[in-house]
Chain A
Amino acid sequence: MKVKFKLYATLSDFLPSEACDHQIDAEVAAGTTPNQMIDSHGVPRRLAHLVVLNGVYVPPSERDRAILRDGDTLAVWPPVAGG
């Protein structure tokens, strides 16, 4: 199945070179969790601060439990803020 995987700010460096607009379309196995997706791209978990699945925040306790579905979008940021 396919999911959109987005890495922003300083995490953009962890995306493969073919990434466009800070995202890739990734082919993943059924049952993949957000943390598995994060690990598979070499993103240190301590930097994966804001993990957002289809626009909804995934708390750290859920990142090994939530299951990605076909067509999902997973976006990840390091600690950021603005105003």
Chain B
Amino acid sequence: MGWTRNVMRVNLTSGTIKREPLNMDWANQYLGQRGLASKYLVEEIDPKVDPLSPENKLIFTTGPLTGTMASTGGRYSVVTKGPLTGAIACSNSGGFLGAELKGAGWDMIIFEGKSPKPVYLYVENDHAELMDASEIWGRSIWDADHILHARHQDPLIRIAAVGRAAEQGCLFSAIVNDLHRAAGRSGVGTVMASKNVKAVVLRGTRGVGNIKDPKAFMQAVNAGKKVLADNAVTGQGLPKYGTQVLMNVINEIGAMPTRNMRDVQFEGASKISGEAMHEVRAGDGRANLVTNAACFGCTIACGRISVIDKNHYTIVNRPQYWGASGGLEYEAAWALGSDTGVSDLEALTYANFLCNEDGLDPITLGSTIAAAMELYEAGLITKEHTGGLELKFGSAEAVTRLTELTCRGEGFGRDIGLGSRRLCEKYGRPELSMSVKGLEFPAYDPRGIQGMGLAYATSNRGACHLRGYTVASEVLGIPVKTDPLVTDGKAELVKAFQDATSVVDSTGLCVFTTFAWTLNDIQPQVAAACEGDWSLEKLLEVGERIWNMERMFNNAAGFTAKDDTLPKRLLSEPAQTGPAKGKANDLQKMLPEYYKVRGWTPEGEPLQATRARLGL
């Protein structure tokens, strides 16, 4: 049946841990992971709750295919109300932690309340215990991981932890598992630290059973793996170049956010691209990229493992950074690189290592530094604020130093830890924050990719590409090519991507499979694993239900149609170069059409008929 049917409820205030049965009625309506945990959250918290109060909850959740033989079936998500946005937050991560949680016999862990002192949760199958974290509080994630492995004397435990940034209240702190995979966006790590939880340590030895029809499941899984292997993107492109292959593509088509999104093309893009990571560098005669890497059960293996040149200024005489670790993905590379005007690949790799070491979302970090650079240029932030640091666009030293300070919550790093919206408000230019609902943009300028403007404006967790990746269609031609510069048909396209992604995020599978798979490839795997009827039609309905449920939570939290917008820069300052030259994003045209396609009122509220159809 896919699910273990066990939920662990951890009351941190009282220090009690209870097992309860999974609500199978909800599982039948929301499938798992993002959908099902969001349903639990929506039912259990007041939408207006302060995200960093004990009344907020934090849910680690798996999907029915997590821990199975399905390719990429190792995903887990963390669901909560996000502190950066005040909206519903769901951050998805790979690595091995999700499969370990499932293998220990749990579908999800719900944290509620707040511990009176720092603790970590240790789980070994049925055994679960809150343990004293005083030794690891105040330490980095990498240190905590090392200490916990030594303490438990078990090399096979899997650990997710928060770093010093989260402890210091940085609002975009991530939860990092397996040293360099992260539930990265929306500040889920900040919520975890606010509850005095430093880490989750898991050991599961039960495996994942209870598959409804094992033979049909293996057939469906093997068919899916063949599709991934035969596809040029998932079988060749992603393993060799990773997500970073997009750096030159997006720059060429004129949608590369550059210097706080003032420009749409970056002259240094090729120096920080996936191709550049393969090139032998002058400093030490080695390439930045060591190898690719796979998460649990993944047959794509898009991950990057890198080493920094030991002669680079960032790590001279600092052997703790000389080893190989999680390298640059495209989102970290553009945000820390083109958005700050920095083309030093080694500096960016170092900043990315720090984001893993202490748990920072590199997208929000890079965008916030870029906003600070523009404020510095405008004279609103000075060296007095920064402790003498010059924040000029193009300064690698500024990026690496600010990353260090933000990781530790020191000096001007505390201002960067606010995220760009609060930073720009503090220094009197709120319009310079490149964000939607408080979450900073990912790597696609919506002046050059019109549909992404609508996807950002309507995303339930703020400006996010992983809620509706129309780039696949508008740029890459997956599943069909559409014109990135036109708005016609984009409302339907965005809705289709948003609903389908809601399904994928609820299965335990990785969304990157959809570069080769459609829901037609996923449906047989879900149907064979899970009891009940899991037709394609039902999956699509589940996706739409999840999207509307998240929307209704946000509306109840105080968001309105006025929040479905983009920064003024993207709506009124035309792109200066590339194919989109002279164009801004035409959101005003797409948004009313989108509300209509969604079955929402002109004010962005789901109509009664829509709610009734979806059982909401």
Query: Given that A81-B233, A82-B244, A83-B243 are contacting pairs, would A54 and B579 also be in contact in the complex, using a CB cutoff of 8 Å?
Result: yes
Count of A interface residues, CB-CB < 8 Å: 25
Are B242 and A82 within 8 A (Cβ)?
yes
Are B330 and A83 within 8 A (Cβ)?
yes
- CB neighbours (8 Å) of A8 from chain B are 245, 248-249, 275
Q: How far is the CA of A82 from the CA of B477 in the complex (A)?
A: 13
Q: How far is the CA of A50 from the CA of B244 in the complex (A)?
A: 16
Are A83 and B466 within 8 A (Cβ)?
yes
Q: How far is the CA of A8 from the CA of B241 in the complex (A)?
A: 11
Are B236 and A50 within 8 A (Cβ)?
no
Q: How far is the CA of A73 from the CA of B469 in the complex (A)?
A: 27
Interface 0/1 of A1-26, CB less than 8 Å to B: 00000101110100000000110000
Whether, in the assembled complex, A75 has its beta carbon less than 8 Å from a beta carbon of chain B, the answer is yes
Are A22 and B466 within 8 A (Cβ)?
no
- CB neighbours (8 Å) of A50 from chain B are 249, 475-477
Query: Given that A22-B248, A54-B579 are contacting pairs, would A80 and B466 also be in contact in the complex, using a CB cutoff of 8 Å?
Result: no
Are B253 and A81 within 8 A (Cβ)?
no
Whether, in the assembled complex, B583 has its beta carbon less than 8 Å from a beta carbon of chain A, the answer is no
Are A83 and B465 within 8 A (Cβ)?
yes
Instruction: Identify the stretch in A31-39, A55-63, A64-72 within 8 Å (CB) of chain B at 4 or more residues.
Output: A55-63
Are B331 and A9 within 8 A (Cβ)?
no
Whether, in the assembled complex, B115 has its beta carbon less than 8 Å from a beta carbon of chain A, the answer is no
Which residues of B (554-606) have their CB < 8 Å from a CB of A?
Answer: 578-579
Among A10, A81, A83, point to the contact of B240 (Cβ < 8 A): A10
Q: How far is the CA of A82 from the CA of B443 in the complex (A)?
A: 11
Q: How far is the CA of A52 from the CA of B578 in the complex (A)?
A: 12
Among B242, B275, B466, point to the contact of A12 (Cβ < 8 A): B275
Whether, in the assembled complex, B193 has its beta carbon less than 8 Å from a beta carbon of chain A, the answer is no
Q: In the assembled complex, how far is the CB of residue B142 from the closest CB belonging to chain A, in whole angstroms?
A: 25
- CB neighbours (8 Å) of B254 from chain A are 55
Whether, in the assembled complex, B15 has its beta carbon less than 8 Å from a beta carbon of chain A, the answer is no
Among B275, B478, B483, B511, point to the contact of A9 (Cβ < 8 A): B275
Q: How far is the CA of A59 from the CA of B477 in the complex (A)?
A: 10
Whether, in the assembled complex, B274 has its beta carbon less than 8 Å from a beta carbon of chain A, the answer is yes
Q: How far is the CA of A52 from the CA of B465 in the complex (A)?
A: 23
Q: How far is the CA of A12 from the CA of B330 in the complex (A)?
A: 19
Q: In the assembled complex, how far is the CB of residue A79 from the closest CB belonging to chain B, in whole angstroms?
A: 4
- CB neighbours (8 Å) of B275 from chain A are 8-9, 12, 22
- CB neighbours (8 Å) of B512 from chain A are 81, 83
Q: A56-B579, A83-B243 are in contact. List 4 more A-B contacts (CB 8 A).
A: A8-B275, A78-B232, A80-B241, A82-B330
3 tightest Cβ-Cβ pairs between the two chains A and B: A82-B243, A82-B246, A79-B232
